[in-house]
Amino acid sequence: MKTEHIPYKIYLTEDELPKAWYNLRADMKQKPAPLLNPGTHQPMKAEELAGVFCEGLIAQELDNDTAYFPIPEEILTFYKMYRPSPLVRAYCLEEKLGTPAKIYYKFEGNNTSGSHKLNSAIAQAYYAKKQGLKGVTTETGAGQWGTALSMACSYFDLDCKVYMVKCSYEQKPFRREVMRTYGASVTPSPSMETEVGRKILAEHPGTTGSLGCAISEAVEKAVTSEGYRYVLGSVLNQVLLHQSVIGLEAKTALDNFGVKPDIIIGCAGGGSNLGGLIAPFMGEKLRGEEDYRFIAVEPASCPSFTRGVYAYDFCDTGMVCPLAKMYTLGSDFIPSANHAGGLRYHGMSSTLSELYHQGLMEAVSVKQTDVFKAAEYFARVEGILPAPESAHAIRVAIDEAVKCKETGEEKTILFGLTGTGYFDMVAYERFHDGQMDDFIPTDEELAAYRSKLPKVD
Amino acid sequence: MKTEHIPYKIYLTEDELPKAWYNLRADMKQKPAPLLNPGTHQPMKAEELAGVFCEGLIAQELDNDTAYFPIPEEILTFYKMYRPSPLVRAYCLEEKLGTPAKIYYKFEGNNTSGSHKLNSAIAQAYYAKKQGLKGVTTETGAGQWGTALSMACSYFDLDCKVYMVKCSYEQKPFRREVMRTYGASVTPSPSMETEVGRKILAEHPGTTGSLGCAISEAVEKAVTSEGYRYVLGSVLNQVLLHQSVIGLEAKTALDNFGVKPDIIIGCAGGGSNLGGLIAPFMGEKLRGEEDYRFIAVEPASCPSFTRGVYAYDFCDTGMVCPLAKMYTLGSDFIPSANHAGGLRYHGMSSTLSELYHQGLMEAVSVKQTDVFKAAEYFARVEGILPAPESAHAIRVAIDEAVKCKETGEEKTILFGLTGTGYFDMVAYERFHDGQMDDFIPTDEELAAYRSKLPKVD
């Protein structure tokens, strides 16, 4: 254990970078519930998934036992272009808040996709290329995942077809242009290009879209196009596996200075960032080696953990995907226009859902205007203009640090700063102009969506 | 000299960060020509500048002898929030080009202002605060300087009034919102707010503005407002001084691995990035210790070095500033709409002009479409979407690396990657759509502007 001064930013050396992804499921006694065939309600087999997903990724998806997957050399090379990401000691924020808490954040925004999404995008593109595919299809909410996948596909010379949630497409005109720079094609969803898109548009003509709709369109496009598969930026086990680089790097950096966090906080849409950040820490907790508090932060407008139910549900609005057991609001829940586009998903990672269900993790929901207050405060104090999604974690990190001020406790707080908000300035503008509302679904609304959950014994 | 593997990204430790700025002028035998009073044509004295500039900065501006200025503690603290910037070994670019050249770039884009401008902004805000001022005024071209100054002023709780070149204001609607996040007010220039703005609008009703116009407006606003001074993001000696952190960090990083660059390349608008990047290397050349090739890259649409004259000229269109001896196209030269907003200045740093005049530095001009080709190529290969300004340096770095491929020479190339292009997607869109033109002024046009230079004996 080193005892020297902790720098503002801790960068690992290349030698210290993770060489393998960590599979949290291997240390879970109660494994996440398996994906089910929507027709037979039997666990999905690898061969059933092969029409939708890439082979190498299916193996990772279904493997609940292997603790470490070596990271292929080509991916390690790409990681070295933009990783390690810095672990930042938020000295300025601590001082401004006057808190005795010690605050750290793992900042994943220093790459052109602007977020952590690139960690899984490059892995998924690699396995698609390895399988000899022509290209991949996907959906994107805030646009970060689509940008990340465009970059990854460009690197491996794969075709990339992105369905972008319509409200994000309209709020973020420049995101499309970044994806185009990397050679991707981008379609606002729901679209008239797919059967499921046409159906959703017929039923909800004015819809601003949702991740659930866009997933359905991307899956349909993949299964009906020769040499294409579908890839997804969150929710799935494989994505949490790839994102474990966030937590592994953060843990090594903290270990180098003998620091142990008390509270670990991440925003949660589908769960990719949170699952990746907490992975090695949760592993220690599951193995009984250490204890940590974990807090998932979700928007009050789309509160899967805090107001959803733990049940089997469709992953997409069009019901073309397998059933997953997760905390869900119902697959046809379409949140009100919410500027944190990346957190608009109706469900939550099965792995995180099981951990939450077992009481190993907490969850809170926060209102959008409170989130933007925290975002602006953080931008001014720490110099990084955060993505609205990331600012959910900032909000709760600040709240916890203020509690420490009140109690005098010197807790160590680690949170995930998933990305930057440079393409979210329309949302910031509304906030500045006082035109931002807090959308909170009523109990009646949620009950109505819940009543449509599939019946699984 | 270490001989180990050179990592993809070299980060200095906090201990290795520069503690003092390096003043290149101290090592110049022939000093840059002094600023002149526009009425008397006598060298400007500190007291004459005091109505426009902050005191601490005037001392730096006029000092041609002190080699090192210690960086104040408050600024070192702010630097630690976003520095060191990485020195990147462009392994992927080298491989893709198939060149034996070794390419390095110093990447200054990993902060919310998106560029190197923050290095001087925080210094200038510090001295304004130290003097007890209420606020500062400035101009911004591409918006990077304005954003940087907004961040710096927010940190020191100063008011910030930005005049933004109109074409950038219109092309980059979200830049304004970032500045607003940091509490700045932003006015498109020329505006009706100032006398000089009204005059320029009357003479050129359809003008898209220029840095020269915006400077005049900001200076007028500063001298007519109680407790305000004017600050400038480029051109001035003080700015090059602050930007020397770029070169000092780069040199330490290279020295740590025993690497000596053969060619050092930077884009040049007013000269702040280039002057900062080359500072310690040029110092060695001036002292006869080492030799390097230096290449300034400017847009063919605004070719101060390559097609301008070395003469005294006004720094601004409104002729309210002191006269500076520099390579200039004439102070009322307004370049055609050019997407590299930060390189639209009619003149060039006096220091760099003198070095160029002495033959210590080369300059080339490049066409905009060629620049965007390099930008897109670089984005795909190295994963960073560059600012159009920065891509000027990329263009020439690639050209030099390709020459090495032809000759088989293993040259080491260092270039400055000043920033990211996330707010330049309108320009990228035009490029993708084949709607981008190359504007090159004719000899007759340049001669007409030149004929209006002030007469100085």
Query: Encoding tokens for residue B428?
Result: 């990228």
E-assigned strands of B119-220?
A: 135-140, 159-165, 185-189
Q: Report d(CA B366, CA B371) in Å as an integer.
A: 7
Backbone angles phi, psi at B65, to 5 degrees: -115, -35
Q: Cα B94 from chain centroid? A: 26
Left if phi > 0, otherwise alpha if psi is -120 to 50, otherwise beta: which for B29? alpha
Which of A5, A82, A383 has its CB closest to that of B112?
A383
Phi-psi region of B299 (alpha: psi -120 to 50; beta: other; left: phi over 0): beta
Neighbours of A244 (CB within 10 A): 26
Q: How far apart are the first and last CA of chain B?
A: 51
Q: Do A112 and B425 count as a contact with CB atoms less than 8 A apart?
A: no
Instruction: Give the residue-averaged pLDDT of A370-397.
Output: 97
Residue B305, CA atoms < 13 Å, CB-side half-sphere: 31
Contact B80 A177 (CB under 8 A): no
Name every chain B residue with its beta carbon within 8 A of the beta carbon of A180.
428-429, 432
Q: Which tokens go with B317?
A: 């269109």
Structural tokens at position B442 = 């004719």
**Which B residues in the span 359-378 are in contact with A, Cβ-Cβ below 8 Å?**
376
Query: In the predicted model, is pLDDT for residue A271 greater than 50?
Result: yes
Contacts of B395 (CB under 8 A, 6+ apart): B297, B366, B370, B371, B373, B374
Task: Say what percent of chain A tops pLDDT 90.
Answer: 85
What confidence category does residue A359 fall into, taking pLDDT thresholds of 50, 70 and 90? very high
Contact assessment for residue A135 and residue A129, using Cβ atoms and an 8 Å cutoff: no
Backbone angles phi, psi at A227, to 5 degrees: 80, 15
Beta carbons of A331 and A321 less than 8 angstroms apart: no
Residue B57, SS3 per DSSP: helix
**Nearest chain B Cα to A180, which residue?**
B432
Is A185 in the B-facing interface, judged by CB distances under 8 Å?
no
Instruction: Examine the pLDDT at A42 and tell me if it is beyond 60.
Output: yes
Among B160, B257, B378, B380, the strongest candidate for a mutation testing the A interface, having the largest count of A CBs within 10 A, is B380
Residue A367 structure tokens: 């209102």
Q: Give the pLDDT confidence score for residue B337 in this predicted structure.
A: 67
DSSP string, B5-54: PPPSEE---GGGS-SEEE-GGGG-SSPPPPPB-TTT-SBPPHHHHTTTS-
User: Which residues of chain B neighbour A81 with C-beta distances below 8 Å?
Assistant: 8, 92, 382-383
Task: Give A320's pLDDT tier (boundaries 50, 70, 90).
Answer: confident
Report the C-alpha dihedral over residues B390, B395, B401, B406, rounded to 10 degrees.
180
Which residue in the set A7, A174, A425 is minimally distant from B14, CB to CB? A7
For chain A, what is the largest distance between any 2 Cα atoms, rounded to a whole number of angstroms? Answer: 64
What gap in Å lies between CA B152 and CA B123, rounded to an integer? 8
pLDDT in tens, A100-149: 999 999 999 999 999 999 999 999 999 999 999 999 999 998 899 999 99
Mean pLDDT, consecutive 10-residue stretches, chain B (457 aa), reads 79 97 98 94 95 96 98 97 97 98 97 96 98 97 92 98 90 88 96 95 89 90 96 94 98 97 96 97 98 97 96 87 94 74 85 98 97 97 96 98 98 98 91 90 94 88
Neighbours of A352 (CB within 10 A): 31
- Greater model confidence, A143 or A354: A354
Judged by a CB distance cut-off of 8 A, whether residue A151 touches chain B is yes
CA–CA gap between residue B93 and residue B404 (Å, rounded) = 14
Interface size A-B, in CB pairs within 8 Å, comes to 112
* Predicted pLDDT at A1: 44
Nearest chain A residue (CA) to B89: A81
Amino acid at site A426:
V
* Segment A138-188, tens digit of pLDDT: 999 889 999 999 999 999 999 999 999 898 888 788 998 999 999 999 999
* Interchain pair B11, A14: CB under 8 A: no
| A2 in contact with chain B, both atoms CB, cutoff 8 A | no
Closest residue by Cα to residue A276 from A90, A119, A73: A119
Taking only the tens place, the pLDDT of each residue in A212-253 is 889 899 999 999 999 999 999 999 999 999 999 999 999 999
φ/ψ of B164, rounded to 5, equals -105, 125
> Strand locations in B169-322, DSSP E?
185-189, 228-230, 263-267, 293-299, 309-314
Number of C-beta neighbours around residue A369 at 10 A: 13
pLDDT category at A274 given cuts 50, 70, 90 is very high
C-alpha to C-alpha distance for A283 and A300, rounded to whole angstroms: 29
Phi, psi (deg, nearest 5) at residue B228: -120, 150
Which residues does chain A have within 8 Å of residue B154's beta carbon, measured at their own beta carbons? Answer: 380
* Per-residue burial over B247-256, b = 16 or more CB atoms within 10 Å of its CB, e = otherwise: bbbbbbbbee
Q: In this complex, do A177 and B376 lie within 8 Å of one another by their Cβ atoms?
A: no
Q: What is the dihedral of CA A418, A171, B152, B349, to 10 degrees?
A: 110
Least confident of A27-31, A206-210, A389-393, B8-12: A206-210
The chain B residue lying nearest A13, using CA atoms, is: B7
Contact B361, B354 (CB under 8 A): no
Closest CA to B137 of B157, B163, B167: B163
Residue A98 has what pLDDT?
A: 98
For residue B241, how far is the Cα from the chain centroid?
A: 12
Tell me whether residues A383 and B180 touch, CB distance under 8 A: no
Token pair in block for residue B53 = 């500039």
Give the E-state strand segments of A337-378 in sequence order: 362-366
**Strand ranges (E), A252-347:** 263-267, 293-299, 309-314, 323-328
CA distances from residue A105 to A396, A418, A419, B226 in whole angstroms, order as listed: 13, 9, 11, 41
User: In this complex, which of B154, B177, B385 lies closest to A380 when CB atoms are compared?
Assistant: B154
Q: Does B155 touch chain A (CB under 8 A)?
A: yes
CA atoms within 13 A on the CB side of A75: 25
- Reported pTM: 0.96
Given strand A185-189, what is the order of strands in its sheet? A185-189, A159-165, A135-140, A228-230
Which of A112, A154, A385 is closest, CB to CB, to B181? A385
Mutation target among A76, A174, A384 for the B interface, most CBs of B within 10 A: A174
Position A341 confidence tier, pLDDT thresholds 50, 70, 90: low
Residues 6+ apart with CB under 8 A from B306: B298, B363, B364, B365
**Chain B, window 87-146: residues with a beta carbon less than 8 angstroms from a chain A beta carbon:** 92, 110-112, 114
Contact A257, A263 (CB under 8 A): no
Q: Are A305 and A264 in contact (CB under 8 A)?
A: no
Q: What is the pLDDT averaged over residues A181-204?
A: 95
Spell out the alpha helix ranges (H) of A206-362: 211-223, 237-256, 272-286, 304-307, 350-357
Q: Is A59 on the interface with B (CB under 8 A)?
A: no
Helices (H), B157-210: 166-171, 173-181, 195-203
A236 lies within 8 A of chain B by CB: no
